Amino acid sequence: MCMTCGCGEVDKRHHPTDITREDLQRAADGAGITLREAAKNLGHSSDEVSRAHSRSPLAAALPWSVGRRA
């Protein structure tokens, strides 16, 4: 899908910056892991980034902070 927006069209690139199944498969192949493992690792990495961001002293002041709506 433009895996970025979650539209469900896994092979469609709506914008040049969108991530597709092909992009993720290439990354998985390069790492010697399955597509599913690569997706799981992205989820874990995203969680870590969110946690680190939420601990930042400036996080509460930023409109895009985790748990805040702009």
pTM higher than 0.85: no
Tens of pLDDT along the chain (70 residues) come to 478 888 889 999 999 999 999 999 999 999 999 999 999 999 999 888 888 877 766 655 555 555 544 4
What is the structure's pLDDT at 41?
94
What is the structure's pLDDT at 38?
96
In the chain, domain spans: 1-70
What is the structure's pLDDT at 11?
93
Q: Whole-angstrom Cα distance, residue 47 to residue 7?
A: 21
